[in-house]
């Protein structure tokens, strides 16, 4: 059979092993910031997806089992409420933290007391508000924990 007579397939070639490895690496979730990194964000301005300032980072809640950062706590205005934003939905650089949520979503998020831990049900309310299912991220981490279990607390 000549090259012109070779049957065509809809399956793209897999390429080199190196290309396949890069594709597999790209599919992995991005590494999460360390607790020390997130603690350094305290006082940073929080910008919404349009770049508009919404709040300031006030603290961080960590998972009670792994001690890994779970929530960035942001304060809305000088005398405003404190709301959590999933650490997986934040990126920081140059003294700012960006989140994909717009200003109104953040302002209407459930408030938390930064001095009190969150139990599983409280976290589920926050996750539901942001539309994060229990099959990924923080939702998957806490879904099998006991009802009423404390799942996150202020970082020490």
Q: Where are the domains of the chain?
A: 35-147+150-154
Question: Please, where are the H alpha helices in 28-153?
Answer: 35-39, 103-107, 120-130, 137-142
Mean pLDDT of the chain: 87
Residue 141: closest CA among 44, 3, 49, 29: 29
151 to each of 65, 106, 142, how far by Cα in Å?
A: 8, 22, 7
Query: Would the pTM of this model clear 0.85, i.e. be above it?
Result: no
Q: What is the pLDDT of residues 40-93, one digit of tens each?
A: 999 999 999 889 999 999 999 999 999 999 999 999 988 899 999 999 999 999
Tokens 């594709």 belong to 23
The yes or no reply on domain 35-147+150-154 and CATH 3.90.50.10 is: yes
């Amino acid at each position: 059979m000549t090259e012109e007579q070779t049957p065509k397939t809809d399956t793209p070639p897999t390429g080199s092993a190196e290309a396949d490895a890069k594709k597999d690496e790209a599919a992995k979730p991005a590494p999460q910031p360390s607790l020390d990194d997130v603690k350094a964000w305290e006082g940073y301005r929080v910008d919404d997806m349009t770049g508009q300032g919404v709040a300031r980072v006030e603290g961080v809640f960590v998972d009670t089992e792994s001690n890994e950062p779970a929530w960035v706590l942001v304060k809305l205005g000088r005398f405003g409420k404190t709301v959590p934003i999933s650490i997986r939905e934040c990126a920081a650089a140059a003294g700012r933290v960006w989140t994909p949520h717009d200003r109104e979503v953040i302002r209407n998020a459930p408030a938390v007391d930064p001095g009190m831990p969150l139990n599983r049900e409280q976290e589920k309310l926050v996750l539901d508000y942001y539309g994060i299912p229990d099959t990924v991220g923080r939702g998957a981490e806490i879904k099998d924990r006991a009802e009423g279990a404390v799942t996150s607390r202020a970082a020490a």
